[in-house]
Amino acid sequence: ASLLRCRWKAGTVYSVQWVVSVGACVASALAYMHSKGICHGDVYAHNVLADSEGNAVLCDYGASFFYDDEGCGKWEAMEVRAFGLFMEALVRRTVQENGHRRRALRSIVSHCLHKDSDSRPGFPLLATGLERLLRP
């Protein structure tokens, strides 16, 4: 596995399946963290290790912090937006196909970047949705 951002050489294109897999791994990790009241605090491609099969792990927890139930929605919504920006960058580098997975990815990104933070999906929903897209 290597840092995802280091793999982004000019002209690099990823399969939609690979992007869905990476997104599912990262969303699952963030769902777990937020279920424990932990915010990663720095979700972007420099903090994701991914292999050629689309297996990915979130790394670099230097900006992470604990939060209490009172701030739960605020911190998760902020991190969902960061995840949306991360996924948007990946979707831009996908093969230009018009399949249902690519359309679904664009919809997920759009929901993550919703201006109303209360309207953004939570990580459990994102992880489940992306995992569902992995099925044939």
**pLDDT tens digits, residue range 32-90?**
999 999 999 999 999 999 999 999 999 999 999 999 877 678 999 999 999 999 999 99
Record the tokens describing residue 17, joined without a space.
Answer: 């399946």
**Domains and their CATH numbers in the chain:** 2-134 (1.10.510.10)
Q: Is the pTM of this model over 0.95?
A: no
Where are any strands of DSSP class E within 1-136? 2-3, 38-39, 48-50, 56-58, 65-66
Cα–Cα distance for residue pair 29/123, rounded to 1 Å? 9
Which residues are bridge partners to 94 per DSSP? 14
Task: Of 73, 88, 72, 78, give the one whose Cα is nearest residue 41.
Answer: 78
